């Protein structure tokens, strides 16, 4: 009996002990290799890091069907191109004609998503910024320079992304704080007003000395007051040109003053030699003196010394890329430049790619004699003896010309082995991943030409600065038409022409594009490219809203006209 | 509860159960008593099995109305003090108890086996239960039955044996997962059941079938509810072989087999391919190809090249069981390997070494029982990619043109494989075989330990307190080599080799404590109660590294370890950018924890009326505070009608009839950790799902790390719940020769944990929400018959299940969970979705109405105001049906084209035994499952299957397959892609002969030699390689054939030895 009692006691104790071991704290767990938002957005360092996240968000917009390709393919500079057997999505954008590829309903889904992801990062930081308690220097109502600088940079990036979206799609949902709501499209004016307010804030609050050009080696790519003033001018010109209205709440003199401020800062200047702005135009294949390769041939290398480099004097603002991309979560590369390379083979210094944006011969032929910009901008396959080894049969809409300014680059043939010739992308040299060419959004030449267009008293001088650098003779007076032509040559293949066309009026844009009709070769066979003015006008020059997003909104989003 | 699972084991091996001390004692007793009692009425006798005449050891014999008894010895003999005319009861576990009147001084008693399992026990949550008292829907399969199927994965052996449990392979690659769906898909999340191995959550694929005692599947919610939050998709309980008292029993099983592809897909040969390519051109207004200018062209059968003939599979396992009165043991060693039928063992292989030890010890008489289970595995796998259209090694065999050769001397890396970079036909063709053999250089080794220690205390009779501590430990290591190669202009690696190595380990600790008490009042009212608590914690870490280039002397996969690499950080050719050749990463997985309390109360009255109720509370770290706890109740009842007195007249033919009804709720929390939180990435722990936010300011190439929110928070996230009502019956007839089980169920899964897509404006692709529901309604029937005609014994089993799956609600603004795009071919649109009123993962596309035969046909179509998708429609093009008659073909015209889950699954077993021969056939099949087939890029230079030879070439030539063109306008996703996948598979045919009785060696009790064919025949109209396709892009979709790694047909010979 005693033993029985003992058993009961043991059992009771065990039961109590075993059954009371679990408490709620047992269930509380925190991630070990990530943070959660409750313990972030607290300090200045957090804010700076989140700001870099916004820049990165903007960087991510270069994949999918990015605005650069939209502008080039849709303009009169380039055709769609790509592989002979590829789908006709690029042709659909080139002609602004849904019939080119009826099943393509989501060409822009990745683009659309990447922009709103970037905008979310900006909105999120802007919302969290007032709650950041720990600033390195004392924060008070007057002296919160760092906070305002961060806010200014963030709002610039947001404005930049909205400007891209509104130019591509016109009717877009507009949100200035994070939201999961199903948001209908805003009017273009509403969107432009947010863009203008953001850029004015950036111009007013980013200190002029925040990122001096002298330290471009470490700060190139940062948003400066000058970048904000320059972008504001571009926004103003596009809006007032395309919509023929001047109701943005910012005046033309204010815009011009901003540009004059950029010029007066003396931070920027034109480079003496136009071609040094571009890698493929300035790189050359040179012989290594006295060095022989296997087989006794002279050894060759890619001489890059004439390239002016990233962040040179002429760069007002650039979208930066790095060669560190991989398939494991690093996406820092230029997402579209691979589309620009010639298909199938490296032709050092030009690297291979997917053959998009074949150049319209009309543009090549339009350059005045002696204009140095022509050879710096265009690869001439015949003139440069590439055509004989280029596989025309694999190319759609082959014209004999392709883009040089933004061509990937490649190392020359080594050891006489053509196959081992590799891309010159840095990093892992994966031609699809590691492209690190920056996209220069705003060059100083654009500041000069915009200021001239806006009626600067120094208009002729500004114009001539650009004009004479190209090897042409100075002029005594300039008209708007002169400036438009100059812009066409100066900014060819920089993703600018299409918007310049649109802001000259939809009719003019449609007619100009239609006039660029051409007979080309697709798969080696003659292919007549024609444009239907009514189709271009039907879309008003804007792109197709991704069908997936319309579906996800349950019909709250409305598809653009003509699509 | 009267039982624990020891009893179940005792029952299983009762024939061999004996304690040498008892035997000794009885024997001594017998000797001692012989002389004393010989004269005054000593009875002697022998107990043998009716089935085979073998002596039964340890049978208890009791003189009725006295406490005089005895036990049989090794030879089945007994002696007993009794008189003629007295009655004795002869009882033995697993056999029907017999009452015998003593008619002489020597008796031969034949005991018959308790044939129809009525006293059989089945495993239920945290215990066992007599089968006849079960009130839920469960099904048990014996380990012997599984072992007979000779499959590498025990789940594969379960196919067709468990109605309502749909098991399909996701790939025929050795070691691939099986997709197990119990009673229909209830979620878009993880739909696999919970596996409990000897009481601890584990991985069933680590077990060799010969280690398994039994598998019990808990199908209804009432049976599963005691597993609460883990059980929404059903529970599979695995019991491994336990030790038994008696002399050591040794068994050895081995088989060796060769595997081959059962059926190949027929693709165009060079001549046919050229003809189709030309026709595509001409039909699209282009000139035919100038083949003479394309150089020397091959005629390669890529499919035949990829397939390895006579791929080996083998298995060896050694089992030893035995024990004393106080200790029992069971141990095994096994080796199993299977070579892939695609590419062979260098690129596709599975190999497993296993060891298992289970022991149990009784301490302090029977007051305390302690024991342990331990199962260790070492698994090596090599695999080709079997994922979507891009990550799918085999797909190349379908879409690369036959014009490219396999071998040539043009490869720049001294490789024998052809490189098409300079091909005059297609520089992008590549070399699927060369690529597979060159780029599949990886080895994955996994070590898995599943072990537990338990103690069960019985301080007073019928009160059992049990404590179990289990550990599920894994360690894995992996290394791979990406060599230099070039096979096409887009398939190359010219810059550097990469060596990867990674390792990880982790464990789940489970502590379970239960107390149970059985109570009988007046012999009629039986109660049992169980309460328990469980705590689970998981932790894990991983490390990985990679570097460039192996030293030339060790430049192969066998030396592909980081120590042998030479990569060093260096400046790029521009002299500025630093190139880092090494990567290193270390991760710590989140501590996951779960805490649970549960209880069960059972009652029965004379085993006629049964009631059961359970309740479980689960708390999980996967949810935010305030939403961590979920409660899961269940109730069930049973009525054994055949025990009623009014059924007395049926006893002649009806042995048992029981009605069952149950209701319960179970949960699912099978999502990742921190799905409720807004996670911030600081550009560390970078992966494709957690991308970095680097930005390269300046011109140095050095990235600045940024931070951003990677996931959308949802603090209200909670359990997914599944509610199920089940009504069923169990019946047996004609002296238990015929048994019939039937069930009807309605299962509603609601508040799914679903990754719901968001509008882009939110900044996220999707977030995790609760919402949506799906209803599964179904019927299951199983019929078994076994009998003998003299020496000829036979059994027939047939089972079938019908399930209907309908989505009730989807928690997104448009009420749809959209499928992914680009999944069938490049730029393909969404083709599957989840939507209200349809089955989960239904195929969504255009319906077609044949082919335009001529211009008049087109004109008539237009006149009827039907839309046409083709901009320049021609005879030979597809008629896409304009469902809404609005004159255009667009997404509004896409409809439900069926889905990949079968509506009916069925299986059968046929077994015959004649003297020493045995023969069995097993089959399984499915009806109503649809398959989407897409093997390449239609309209380009991809190859076609020979089906294209039946294309439209003129009026009346075909009304199904359109003319060929260089675009894919006739191959927009429509019912042309969708094929019926109904099939009947003869999964196993075996013929065996037991030589033991011929060779008459006492030591050997079984020496069965057998031959077997697995996956012998498949009857199906489907023209792909295998109609059983579990793959479906996402786990809530099945039946997507993108170039499917088929299951092999295996011919094998084997031996079962018992000593």
SS3 (DSSP) at B211:
helix
Rounded CA gap, B433 and B397, in Å? Answer: 8
- A177 CB contacts (<8 Å, ≥6 apart)? A123, A126, A127
Closest Cα to residue B200, out of B247, B231, B237, B174?
Answer: B237
Rounded CA gap, A166 and A187, in Å? Answer: 10
CA geometry: angle B736, B737, B740, nearest 5 deg: 75
Question: Distance from first CA to last CA of chain B, Å, rounded?
Answer: 35
- 3-state SS, one letter per residue, for A383-403: CCCCHHHCCHHHECCECCEEE
What pLDDT is stored for residue B22 in this prediction?
35
CA geometry: angle A343, A345, A348, nearest 5 deg: 115
SS3 (DSSP) at B974:
strand
Rounded CA gap, A158 and A121, in Å? Answer: 9
What pLDDT is stored for residue B701 in this prediction?
84
Q: How far is A445 from chain B (nearest CA, A)?
A: 21
Rounded CA gap, B633 and B412, in Å? Answer: 68
Test B762 with A11 for CB contact under 8 angstroms. Answer: no
Q: How far is B460 from chain A (nearest CA, A)?
A: 7
Handedness of CA A447, A452, A453, A455 (dihedral sign): positive
**pLDDT (tens digit, 9 = 90+) per residue, A234-287?**
999 999 999 999 999 999 999 999 999 999 999 999 999 999 999 999 999 888
| Residues B587 and B542 sit within 8 Å (Cβ to Cβ) | yes
| Residues B777 and B745 sit within 8 Å (Cβ to Cβ) | yes
Report the 10 Å Cβ neighbour count for B820: 13
Rounded CA gap, B431 and B276, in Å? Answer: 21
Q: Is A518 a residue whose pLDDT tops 90?
A: yes
What pLDDT is stored for residue A3 in this prediction?
52
Q: B660: which 2 tokens?
A: 């069952």
Select the residue from A16, A25, A31, A213 to test the B interface by mutation, using most B Cβ atoms within 10 A. Answer: A31
pLDDT band at residue A101 under the 50/70/90 scheme: confident
| Residues A140 and A133 sit within 8 Å (Cβ to Cβ) | no
ipTM tops 0.90: yes
Rounded CA gap, A112 and A118, in Å? Answer: 10
Test B757 with A417 for CB contact under 8 angstroms. Answer: no
**pLDDT (tens digit, 9 = 90+) per residue, A6-42?**
555 555 545 544 444 445 578 887 888 788 888 899 9
Closest Cα to residue A312, out of A347, A336, A277, A279?
Answer: A277
Given A27, A99, A173, which is nearest B593 (Cβ)? A27
Chain A partners within 8 Å of B293 (Cβ):
none
Task: Say yes or no: B699 contacts chain A, CB-CB below 8 A.
Answer: yes
Test B813 with A552 for CB contact under 8 angstroms. Answer: yes
- This prediction has a pTM of 0.82
Rounded CA gap, B961 and B940, in Å? Answer: 17
- B1048 CB contacts (<8 Å, ≥6 apart)? B172, B259, B260, B261, B262, B311, B341, B1014, B1015
What pLDDT is stored for residue B51 in this prediction?
66
Chain B residue at shortest CA distance from A180: B762
- B549 CB contacts (<8 Å, ≥6 apart)? B496, B497, B565, B566, B567, B581
Closest Cα to residue B614, out of B216, B196, B129, B238?
Answer: B129
Task: Say yes or no: B872 contacts chain A, CB-CB below 8 A.
Answer: no
What pLDDT is stored for residue A417 in this prediction?
55
Test A32 with B589 for CB contact under 8 angstroms. Answer: yes
Test B286 with A523 for CB contact under 8 angstroms. Answer: yes
Rounded CA gap, B690 and A34, in Å? Answer: 10
Percentage above 90 pLDDT, chain A: 73
- B641 CB contacts (<8 Å, ≥6 apart)? B647, B657, B658, B659
Rounded CA gap, A210 and A223, in Å? Answer: 9
Chain A partners within 8 Å of B940 (Cβ):
85
Whole-number Cα distances in Å, A507 to A100, A167, A238, A242: 22, 17, 15, 11
Test B871 with A218 for CB contact under 8 angstroms. Answer: no
What is the number of CB-based contacts under 8 A between chain A and chain B? 321
Task: Say yes or no: B686 contacts chain A, CB-CB below 8 A.
Answer: yes
**pLDDT (tens digit, 9 = 90+) per residue, A113-145?**
999 999 999 999 999 999 988 887 765 555 688
**pLDDT (tens digit, 9 = 90+) per residue, B77-102?**
888 888 888 888 888 877 777 888 88
DSSP letters spanning B408-431: -S--TTS-SB---TT-SS-TT---
Closest Cα to residue A465, out of A455, A475, A453, A456?
Answer: A475
CA geometry: angle A215, A216, A221, nearest 5 deg: 130
Test B513 with A327 for CB contact under 8 angstroms. Answer: no
Chain A partners within 8 Å of B673 (Cβ):
29, 31
Test A27 with B619 for CB contact under 8 angstroms. Answer: yes
List B residues 425-454 in contact with A (Cβ-Cβ < 8 A). 427
Residue with tokens 């600088």: A149
Q: State yes or no: cis peptide before A349, omega within 30 of 0.
A: yes
Rounded CA gap, A220 and A213, in Å? Answer: 8
| Residues B334 and B354 sit within 8 Å (Cβ to Cβ) | yes
What pLDDT is stored for residue A415 in this prediction?
55
What pLDDT is stored for residue B944 in this prediction?
93
What pLDDT is stored for residue B1052 in this prediction?
93
| Residues B676 and B768 sit within 8 Å (Cβ to Cβ) | yes
B35-42: list long-range contacts, CB under 8 Å, 24+ apart.
Answer: B37/B81, B41/B81, B41/B82, B41/B83, B41/B84, B41/B105, B42/B79, B42/B80, B42/B81, B42/B105
What pLDDT is stored for residue A139 in this prediction?
58
| Residues A280 and A349 sit within 8 Å (Cβ to Cβ) | yes
Chain B residue at shortest CA distance from A24: B619
Residues of chain B with pLDDT under 50: 1-39, 116-118
Q: How far is A329 from chain B (nearest CA, A)?
A: 4
Strand partners for B475: B447, B505
| Residues A111 and A66 sit within 8 Å (Cβ to Cβ) | yes
Rounded CA gap, B207 and B204, in Å? Answer: 6
Rounded CA gap, B493 and B250, in Å? Answer: 54
Q: Are strands A518-522 and B583-605 parallel, antiparallel or unpaired?
A: unpaired
Residue with tokens 């600033």: A135
Rounded CA gap, B531 and B851, in Å? Answer: 67
What pLDDT is stored for residue B532 in this prediction?
94
Given A23, A54, A426, which is nearest B572 (Cβ)? A426
Q: B26: which 2 tokens?
A: 């009885």
Closest Cα to residue B141, out of B125, B110, B120?
Answer: B120
Q: How far is A218 from chain B (nearest CA, A)?
A: 4
Q: Which residue has the higher pLDDT, A425 or B444?
A: B444
Whole-number Cα distances in Å, B461 to A488, B363, B518: 98, 16, 9
Chain A partners within 8 Å of B708 (Cβ):
50, 53-54, 56-57, 121, 124
Closest Cα to residue B822, out of B384, B388, B188, B171?
Answer: B388
Task: Say yes or no: B758 contacts chain A, CB-CB below 8 A.
Answer: yes
DSSP letters spanning B762-793: GTSSEEEEE--EEEEEEEEEEEEEEEEETTEE
Whole-number Cα distances in Å, B251 to B106, B205, B245, B381: 36, 22, 16, 28
B279 membership: H or E segment, kind and range: helix B270-283
SS3 (DSSP) at B544:
strand
The beta-strand segments (E) located in A26-88 are 35-36
Q: Is A530 a residue whose pLDDT tops 90?
A: yes
SS3 (DSSP) at B12:
helix
DSSP letters spanning B601-634: EEEEETTTEEEEEEEEEEEETTS-TTS-EEEEEE
SS3 (DSSP) at B901:
coil
Question: Distance from first CA to last CA of chain A, Å, rounded?
Answer: 91
């Amino acid at each position: 009996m005693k033993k029985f009692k003992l058993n009961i006691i043991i059992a009771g104790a065990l039961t109590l002990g075993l059954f009371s071991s679990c408490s709620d704290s047992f269930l509380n767990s925190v991630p070990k290799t990530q943070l959660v938002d409750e313990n972030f957005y607290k300090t200045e360092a957090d804010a700076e890091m989140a700001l870099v996240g916004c820049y990165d968000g903007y960087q991510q917009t270069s994949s999918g069907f990015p605005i650069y390709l939209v502008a080039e393919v849709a303009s009169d500079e380039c055709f769609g191109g790509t592989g002979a057997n590829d789908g006709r999505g690029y042709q659909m954008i080139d002609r602004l004609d849904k019939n080119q590829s009826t099943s393509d309903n989501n060409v822009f889904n990745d683009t659309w998503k990447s922009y709103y992801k970037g905008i979310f990062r900006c909105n999120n930081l802007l919302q969290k910024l007032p709650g950041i308690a720990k600033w390195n220097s004392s924060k008070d109502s007057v002296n919160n320079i760092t906070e305002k600088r961060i806010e200014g940079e963030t709002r610039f990036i947001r404005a930049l992304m909205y400007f891209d979206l509104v130019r591509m799609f016109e009717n877009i949902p507009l949100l200035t704080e994070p939201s999961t709501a199903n948001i209908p499209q805003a009017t273009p004016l509403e969107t432009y007003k947010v863009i203008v307010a953001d850029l004015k804030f950036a111009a007013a609050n980013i200190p002029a000395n925040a990122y001096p050009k002298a330290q471009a080696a470490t700060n190139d790519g940062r948003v400066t007051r000058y970048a904000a003033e320059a972008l504001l001018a571009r926004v103003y010109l596009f809006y007032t040109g395309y919509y023929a209205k001047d109701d943005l709440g910012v005046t033309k003199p204010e815009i011009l003053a901003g540009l004059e401020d950029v010029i007066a800062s003396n931070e920027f200047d034109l480079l003496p030699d136009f071609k040094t702005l571009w890698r493929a135009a300035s790189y050359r294949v040179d012989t290594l003196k006295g060095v022989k390769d296997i087989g006794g041939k002279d050894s060759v290398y890619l001489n890059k010394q004439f390239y002016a480099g990233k962040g040179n004097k002429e760069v007002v603002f650039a979208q930066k890329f790095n060669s560190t991309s991989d398939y494991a979560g690093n996406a820092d590369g230029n997402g579209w430049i691979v589309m620009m390379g010639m298909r199938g083979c490296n032709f050092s210094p030009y690297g291979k790619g997917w053959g998009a944006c074949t150049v319209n011969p009309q543009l090549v032929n339009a350059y005045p004699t002696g204009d140095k910009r022509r050879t710096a901008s265009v690869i001439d396959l015949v003139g440069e003896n590439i055509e004989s080894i280029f596989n025309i049969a694999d190319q759609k809409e082959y014209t004999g010309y392709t883009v040089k300014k933004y061509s990937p680059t490649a190392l020359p043939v080594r050891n006489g082995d053509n196959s081992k010739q590799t891309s010159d992308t840095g990093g892992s040299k994966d031609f699809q991943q590691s492209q690190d060419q920056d996209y220069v959004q705003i060059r100083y030449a654009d500041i000069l030409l915009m200021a001239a267009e806006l009626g600067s008293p120094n208009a002729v001088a500004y114009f001539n600065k650009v004009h004479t650098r190209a090897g042409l003779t100075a002029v005594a007076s300039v008209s708007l038409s002169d400036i438009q032509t100059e812009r066409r040559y100066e900014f060819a293949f920089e993703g600018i022409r299409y918007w310049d066309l649109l802001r000259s009026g939809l009719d003019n844009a449609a007619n100009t594009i239609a006039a660029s009709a051409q007979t080309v070769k697709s798969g080696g066979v003659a292919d007549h490219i024609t444009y239907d003015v009514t189709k271009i006008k039907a879309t008003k020059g804007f792109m197709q809203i991704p069908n997936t997003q319309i579906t996800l909104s349950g019909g709250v989003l409305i598809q653009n006209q003509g699509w | 509860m009267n039982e624990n699972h020891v009893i179940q084991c005792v029952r299983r091996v009762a024939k061999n159960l004996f304690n040498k001390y008892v035997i000794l004692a009885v024997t001594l007793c017998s000797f001692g008593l012989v002389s004393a009692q010989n004269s005054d009425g000593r009875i002697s006798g022998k107990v043998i099995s009716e089935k085979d005449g073998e002596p039964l050891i340890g049978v208890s014999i009791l003189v009725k109305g006295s406490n005089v008894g005895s036990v049989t010895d090794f030879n089945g003999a007994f002696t007993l003090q009794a008189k003629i005319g007295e009655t004795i009861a002869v009882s033995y576990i697993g056999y029907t108890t017999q009452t015998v009147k003593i008619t002489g001084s020597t008796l031969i008693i034949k005991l018959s086996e308790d044939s129809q399992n009525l006293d059989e026990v089945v495993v239920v949550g945290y215990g066992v239960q007599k089968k006849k008292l079960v009130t839920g829907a469960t099904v048990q399969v014996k380990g012997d039955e599984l072992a007979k199927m000779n499959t590498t994965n025990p789940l594969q052996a379960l196919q067709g044996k468990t109605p309502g449990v749909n098991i399909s392979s996701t790939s025929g690659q050795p070691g691939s997962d099986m997709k197990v769906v119990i009673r229909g898909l209830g979620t878009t999340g993880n739909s696999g059941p919970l596996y409990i191995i000897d009481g601890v959550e584990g991985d069933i694929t680590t077990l060799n079938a010969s280690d398994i005692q039994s598998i019990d599947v808990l199908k209804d919610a009432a049976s599963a509810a005691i597993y609460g939050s883990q059980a929404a998709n059903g529970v599979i309980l695995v019991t491994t072989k336990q030790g038994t008292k008696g002399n050591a029993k040794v068994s050895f099983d081995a088989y060796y087999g060769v595997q081959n592809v059962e059926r190949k897909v027929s693709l165009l040969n060079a001549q046919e391919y050229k003809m189709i390519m030309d026709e595509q051109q001409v039909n699209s207004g282009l000139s035919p190809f100038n083949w003479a200018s394309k150089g020397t062209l091959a005629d390669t059968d890529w499919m035949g090249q990829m397939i390895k003939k006579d791929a080996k599979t083998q298995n060896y396992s050694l089992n030893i069981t035995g024990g004393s009165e106080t200790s029992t043991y069971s141990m095994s060693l096994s080796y199993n390997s299977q070579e892939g039928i695609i590419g062979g063992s260098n690129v596709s292989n599975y190999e497993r070494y296993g060891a298992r030890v289970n022991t149990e010890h009784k301490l302090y008489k029977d007051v305390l029982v302690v024991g342990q289970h331990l199962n260790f595995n070492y698994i090596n796998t090599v695999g080709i990619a079997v994922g979507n259209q891009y990550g799918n090694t085999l797909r190349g065999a379908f879409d690369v043109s036959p014009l490219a050769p396999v071998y040539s001397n043009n490869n720049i890396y001294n490789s024998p494989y052809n490189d098409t970079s300079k091909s005059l036909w297609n520089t992008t063709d590549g070399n699927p075989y060369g690529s597979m053999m060159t780029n599949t250089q990886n080895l994955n080794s996994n070590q898995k330990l599943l072990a537990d220690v338990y103690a069960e205390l019985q301080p007073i009779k019928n009160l059992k307190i049990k404590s179990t501590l289990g550990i599920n430990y894994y360690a894995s290591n992996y290394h791979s080599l990406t060599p230099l190669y070039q096979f096409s202009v887009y398939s190359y690696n010219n810059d550097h080799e990469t060596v990867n190595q990674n390792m990880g380990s982790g464990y789940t600790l489970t502590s379970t404590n239960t107390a149970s008490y059985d109570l009988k009042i007046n012999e009629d009212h039986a109660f049992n109660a169980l309460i328990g608590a469980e705590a689970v914690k998981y932790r894990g870490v991983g490390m990985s590294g990679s570097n460039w280039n192996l030293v030339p002397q060790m430049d192969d996969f066998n030396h592909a370890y980081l120590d042998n690499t030479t990569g060093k950080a260096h400046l790029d050719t521009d002299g500025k950018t630093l190139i880092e050749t090494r990567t290193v990463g270390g991760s710590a997985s989140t501590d996951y924890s779960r805490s649970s309390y549960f209880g069960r109360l059972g009652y029965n009255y004379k085993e006629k009326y049964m009631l059961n109720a359970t309740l479980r509370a689960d708390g999980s770290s996967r949810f935010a505070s305030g939403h961590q706890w979920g409660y899961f109740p269940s109730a069930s009842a049973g009525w054994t009608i055949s025990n009623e007195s009014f059924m007395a007249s049926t006893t002649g033919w009806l042995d048992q009839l029981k009605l069952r009804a149950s209701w319960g709720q179970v949960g699912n929390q099978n999502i990742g950790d921190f799905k409720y939180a807004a996670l911030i990435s600081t550009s560390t722990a970078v992966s494709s799902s957690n991308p970095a936010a680097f930005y390269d300011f300046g011109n140095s190439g050095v990235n600045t790390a940024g931070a951003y929110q990677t996931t959308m928070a949802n603090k209200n996230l909670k359990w997914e719940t599944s509610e199920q009502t089940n009504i069923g019956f169990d019946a047996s007839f004609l002296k238990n020769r015929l048994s019939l089980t039937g069930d009807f169920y309605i299962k509603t899964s609601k508040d799914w944990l679903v990754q719901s897509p968001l509008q882009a404006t939110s900044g996220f692709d999707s977030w995790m929400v609760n919402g949506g529901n799906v209803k599964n309604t179904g019927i299951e029937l199983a019929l078994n018959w076994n009998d003998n005609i003299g020496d000829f014994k036979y059994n027939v089993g047939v089972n079938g299940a019908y399930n209907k799956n309908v989505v009730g609600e989807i928690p997104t603004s448009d009420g749809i969970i959209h499928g992914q795009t680009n999944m069938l071919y490049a730029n393909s649109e969404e083709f599957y979705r989840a939507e209200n009123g349809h089955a989960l993962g239904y195929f969504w596309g255009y319906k077609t109405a044949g082919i335009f035969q001529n211009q008049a046909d087109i004109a008539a179509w237009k006149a009827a105001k039907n839309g046409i998708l083709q901009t320049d429609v021609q005879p030979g093009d597809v008629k896409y049906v304009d469902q809404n008659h609005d004159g255009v073909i667009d997404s509004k015209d896409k409809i439900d084209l069926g889905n990949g889950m079968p509506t009916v699954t069925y299986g059968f077993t046929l077994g015959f035994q004649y003297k020493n021969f045995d023969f069995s056939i097993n089959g399984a099949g499915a009806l109503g499952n649809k398959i989407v087939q897409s093997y390449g890029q239609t309209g380009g230079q991809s190859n076609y299957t020979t089906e294209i030879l039946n294309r439209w070439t003129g009026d009346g030539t075909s009304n199904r397959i359109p003319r060929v063109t260089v675009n894919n306008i006739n191959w927009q996703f429509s019912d042309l892609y969708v094929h019926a996948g109904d099939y009947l598979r003869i999964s196993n045919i075996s013929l065996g002969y037991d030589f033991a009785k011929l060779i008459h060696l006492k030591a050997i009790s079984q020496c069965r030699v057998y031959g077997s064919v697995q996956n012998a025949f498949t009857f199906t109209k489907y023209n792909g390689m295998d109609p059983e396709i579990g793959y479906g892009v996402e786990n809530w979709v099945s039946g997507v054939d993108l170039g499917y790694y088929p299951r092999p047909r295996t011919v094998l010979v084997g031996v079962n030895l018992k000593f």
